[in-house]
């Protein structure tokens, strides 16, 4: 039998699995970017050789990290928000707010994904390369549709949770966006 509580827990586990992969990818992108900048500095000041590809790639890796880490930040409640309304809402009102915000973000993610793919396709067909000429531009611009897709998964998960919380408003008081249900249950049981 369907229960909002079980569905919310399943969504949190599903998003949690995606989250681990996305966080590793984001951390890897930032780490590789820092490594490339370090190598660029060493090459320039010790060997008097400059590699613009390192600099282009490092900047674009940070863009990739920002784009793919938007979803995890949203899931944890880390995006800028306005508390003047959410603090006054309880039960179904809080669930409705969560649902509306998630639906709006999901819609924006679909636009990011769709338009991002159009841009990547246009760049791919024009065979553009970066300023250094070493990198294909479309590789770097894939950050936009990929970020939109991943953020969309998080928004979809929050939309499903919003529907569940609408049918079980008592859960809305227990579930915070920064902490999935499974973590809250563990805290409550003293584990």
Name the stretches of the chain with pLDDT < 50.
178-187, 189-191
Question: Model pTM?
Answer: 0.77
pLDDT value of residue 87: 67
Query: In b/e form, how buried is each residue of 131-154, taking b as 16+ CB within 10 angstroms?
Result: eeeebebbbbbbbbbbbbbbbbbb
Residue 17: how many other CB atoms lie within 10 Å: 10
| Unique residue bearing structure tokens 């070493």 | 134
pLDDT value of residue 80: 61
């Amino acid at each position: 039998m369907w229960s909002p509580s079980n569905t919310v827990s399943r969504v949190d586990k599903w998003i949690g699995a995606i989250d681990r992969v996305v966080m590793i990818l984001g951390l890897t992108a930032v780490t590789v970017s820092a490594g490339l900048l370090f190598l660029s500095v060493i090459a320039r000041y010790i060997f008097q050789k400059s590699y613009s590809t390192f600099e282009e790639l490092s900047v674009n890796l940070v863009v990739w990290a920002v784009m793919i880490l938007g979803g995890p930040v949203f899931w944890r409640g880390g995006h800028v928000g306005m508390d003047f309304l959410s603090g006054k809402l309880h039960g179904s009102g809080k669930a409705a707010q969560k649902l509306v915000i998630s639906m709006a973000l999901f819609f924006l993610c679909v636009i990011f994904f769709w338009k991002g793919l159009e841009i990547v396709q246009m760049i791919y067909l024009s065979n553009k390369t970066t300023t250094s000429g070493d990198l294909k531009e479309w590789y770097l611009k894939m950050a936009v549709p990929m970020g939109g897709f991943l953020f969309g998964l998080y928004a979809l998960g929050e939309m499903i949770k919003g529907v569940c919380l609408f049918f079980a408003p008592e859960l809305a008081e227990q579930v915070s966006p920064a902490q999935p249900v499974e973590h809250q249950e563990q805290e409550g049981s003293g584990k």
